[in-house]
């Protein structure tokens, strides 16, 4: 008897627990990917291209067989999936378990509908080294602070990668299956994605940067990060595979802790699903945020990388040009939006979701809330990033800024971070700062004091 395998956020073959279970059940597999056409059409070009390229890579690894099921409503997918099971003579659909709110709603609805039609959805494994909800305090409750979470997580996270044998597998096509949809929007860059590329990227990272990761990961001007966030978000590589290859050096340990941060945020979202778009610390809803036309104009300047603060603008322009932003710079631009422009973190989180090819629901929502001071392990609200000092520290020669802010390429060294101090700083029409950081810092602290007096 054949089985159906539903690829979700696990666009890979190896170290795929759900796929291994499916192949243990039957060597005859109908692989499929469910394509929400409305969701896809709403994505920016680079996100469309990144998903399409990942699916093309997956299809090649499946002997060029990947059944695409297009739908506009979840109920339509459920009906099509039931028809597929019936036509294939398959009583079971295997898939990876998801823990984000959308994924949970999706899998619960599908499972319930399939049972009513005589089929079974078997959810196995996850995209995490330790499934969300597993790490608990001695009293059985979940951790709300990262450091003790990491200590417990660290004792559970070293499961060996799962070897998936596919030599004797028959990947089966469905009649009438759609082709992988072509992107409807252009991408500013050529996207390369997929499991093979993710594995090569990891090999390069181990040779290039892992040993100095603890020193270089915050330097925006250096290639000191892993560049694996896209692969993890799409499930092109599993965290188990990364952890298994790390050594005992300091850089490897810090990288391990970064993987744990991703899993901590997934755990938090699992326990508090409302925090995808709502405040983890609800009192910050009452903080006074700016609204109106001036606020809208400042938000537009932030989105376009035209705030007049070079490090902020470089990051926002990198996002538009590459669908990615250096993690340190993500914190800088987030702090600027919330504490210099006094706008809600939800605006920034939505903008990131729109443009990031490595978008991850939990990491995005709680990364923003951490910087905004309203999340778990909160960076205290009164910790306000100085965008100039951050630039001087993490882009000391100005190379990062010059790469993305063309109007400042004529300036040497650290001068790019303070063009207002250079005679020729504005020769190429770079905008003046839209706010005064020192003044807005004081304003942000004043609003925090207001919040303390609100019951």
Instruction: Look at residue 276 and tell me if it is in a domain.
Output: no
Instruction: Report pTM.
Output: 0.96
Angle of the 45-61 helix axis to the 345-355 helix axis, nearest 10: 50
Residue 88 and residue 172 in contact, taking contact as beta carbons nearer than 8 Å? yes
203 and 320 share one domain: no
362 and 435 share one domain: yes
Fill in the DSSP letter of residue 338.
I
- The long-range contacts involving 405-409, CB below 8 angstroms and separated by at least 24 positions, are 405/305, 405/310, 405/313, 405/314, 405/317, 405/430, 408/310
Instruction: Look at residue 323 and tell me if it is in a domain.
Output: yes
Q: How far apart are CA 349 and CA 280, in angstroms?
A: 14
* Chain CA centroid to CA 295, Å: 27
Q: How far apart are CA 290 and CA 292, in angstroms?
A: 7
pLDDT recorded at residue 255: 97
pLDDT recorded at residue 56: 97
310 and 376 share one domain: yes
Angle of the 345-355 helix axis to the 293-304 helix axis, nearest 10: 40
pLDDT recorded at residue 178: 84
Residue 355 and residue 47 in contact, taking contact as beta carbons nearer than 8 Å? yes
Instruction: Look at residue 277 and tell me if it is in a domain.
Output: no
231 and 330 share one domain: no
381: domain CATH number?
A: 1.10.579.10
11 and 137 share one domain: no
Residues linked to residue 69 through DSSP beta bridges, in sequence order: 34
Instruction: Look at residue 181 and tell me if it is in a domain.
Output: no
H or E segment and range at residue 70: strand 67-71
How many CB atoms lie under 10 A from the CB of residue 46? 24
Q: How far apart are CA 356 and CA 345, in angstroms?
A: 16
289 and 232 share one domain: no
Instruction: Look at residue 183 and tell me if it is in a domain.
Output: no
pLDDT recorded at residue 175: 84
H or E segment and range at residue 334: helix 327-335
Residue 60 and residue 133 in contact, taking contact as beta carbons nearer than 8 Å? no
98 and 239 share one domain: no
Q: What is the pLDDT along the chain (455 residues), one digit of tens a residue?
A: 899 999 999 999 999 999 999 999 999 999 999 999 999 999 999 999 999 999 999 999 999 999 999 999 999 999 999 999 999 999 999 999 999 999 999 999 999 999 999 999 999 999 999 999 999 999 999 999 999 999 999 999 999 999 999 999 999 998 888 899 999 999 999 999 999 999 999 999 999 999 999 999 999 999 999 999 999 999 999 999 999 999 999 999 999 999 999 999 999 999 999 999 999 999 999 999 999 999 999 999 999 999 999 999 999 999 999 999 999 999 999 999 999 999 999 999 999 999 999 999 999 999 999 999 999 876 677 789 999 999 999 999 999 999 999 999 999 999 999 999 999 999 999 999 999 999 999 999 999 999 888 75
SS3 content of the chain, % helix, strand, coil (to 5): 50, 5, 40
Q: How far apart are CA 405 and CA 200, in angstroms?
A: 30
Instruction: Look at residue 142 and tell me if it is in a domain.
Output: yes
362 and 249 share one domain: no
Q: Strand pairing of 28-36 and 170-171?
A: parallel
Instruction: Give the domain range for residue 140.
Output: 128-160+194-271
74 and 120 share one domain: yes
Which residues touch 216 (CB under 8 Å, ≥6 apart)?
209, 222, 224
24 and 132 share one domain: no
pLDDT recorded at residue 321: 96
Q: How far apart are CA 302 and CA 334, in angstroms?
A: 10
Out of 271, 292, 323, pick the residue that ends a domain: 271
Out of 80, 108, 126, pick the residue that ends a domain: 126
How many residues are listed for the chain in this entry? 455
Fill in the DSSP letter of residue 7.
E
257: domain CATH number?
A: 1.25.40.80
State the total domains in the chain. Answer: 3
121 and 211 share one domain: no
Which residues touch 4 (CB under 8 Å, ≥6 apart)?
29, 30, 32, 81, 84, 85, 88, 90, 92, 93, 94
pLDDT recorded at residue 361: 97
Phi/psi class of residue 64: alpha, beta or left (left: φ > 0; alpha: ψ in -120 to 50)?
left
Residue 43 and residue 133 in contact, taking contact as beta carbons nearer than 8 Å? no
Instruction: Look at residue 65 and tell me if it is in a domain.
Output: yes
Instruction: Look at residue 11 and tell me if it is in a domain.
Output: yes
133 and 61 share one domain: no
Out of 74, 102, 126, pick the residue that ends a domain: 126
CA distances 369 to 34, 98, 133, 303, 331, Å, are 31, 22, 20, 18, 10
């Amino acid at each position: 008897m054949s089985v159906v395998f539903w690829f979700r956020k696990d666009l890979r073959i190896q170290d795929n627990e759900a796929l291994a279970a499916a192949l243990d059940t039957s060597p005859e597999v109908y692989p499929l990917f469910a394509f929400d056409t409305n969701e896809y059409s709403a994505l920016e070009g680079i996100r469309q291209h990144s998903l399409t390229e990942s699916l093309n890579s997956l299809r090649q690894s499946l002997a060029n067989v990947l059944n695409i099921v297009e739908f506009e409503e979840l109920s339509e997918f459920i009906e099509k999936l039931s028809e597929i099971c019936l036509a294939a003579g398959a009583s079971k659909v295997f898939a990876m378990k998801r823990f984000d709110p959308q994924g949970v709603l999706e899998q619960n609805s599908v499972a319930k509908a399939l049972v009513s039609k005589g089929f079974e959805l078997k959810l196995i494994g996850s995209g995490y080294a330790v499934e969300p909800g597993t790490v608990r305090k001695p009293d059985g409750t979940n951790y709300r602070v990262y450091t003790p979470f990491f200590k417990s997580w660290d004792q559970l996270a070293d499961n060996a990668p799962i070897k998936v044998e596919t030599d004797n597998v028959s990947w089966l096509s469905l009649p009438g299956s759609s082709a992988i949809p072509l992107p409807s929007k252009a991408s500013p860059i050529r996207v390369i994605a997929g499991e093979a590329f993710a594995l090569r990227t990891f090999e390069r990272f181990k040779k290039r940067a892992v040993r100095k990761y603890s020193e270089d990961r915050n330097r925006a001007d250096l290639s000191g990060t892993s560049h694996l966030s896209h692969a993890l978000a799409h499930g092109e590589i599993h965290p188990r595979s990364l952890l298994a290859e790390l050594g005992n050096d300091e850089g490897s340990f810090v990288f391990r802790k970064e993987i744990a941060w991703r899993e901590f945020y997934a755990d938090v979202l699992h326990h508090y699903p409302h925090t995808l778009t709502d405040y983890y610390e609800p009192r910050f809803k009452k903080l006074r945020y700016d609204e109106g036309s001036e606020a809208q104009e400042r938000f537009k300047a932030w989105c376009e990388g035209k705030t007049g603060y070079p490090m902020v603008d470089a990051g926002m322009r990198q996002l538009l040009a590459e669908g990615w932003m250096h993690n340190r710079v993500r914190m800088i631009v987030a702090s600027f939006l919330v504490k210099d422009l006094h706008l809600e973190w939800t605006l920034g989180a939505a903008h990131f979701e729109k443009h990031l090819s490595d978008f991850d629901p939990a990491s995005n929502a709680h990364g923003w809330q951490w910087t905004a001071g309203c999340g778990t392990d909160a960076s205290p609200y009164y910790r306000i990033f100085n965008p100039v000092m951050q630039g001087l520290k993490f882009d000391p020669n100005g190379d990062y800024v010059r790469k993305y802010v063309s109007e400042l390429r004529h300036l040497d060294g650290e001068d790019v971070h303070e063009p207002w101090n250079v005679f020729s700083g504005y020769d190429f029409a770079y905008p003046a700062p839209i706010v005064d950081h020192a003044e807005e810092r004081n304003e942000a602290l004043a609003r925090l004091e207001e919040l303390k007096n609100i019951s």
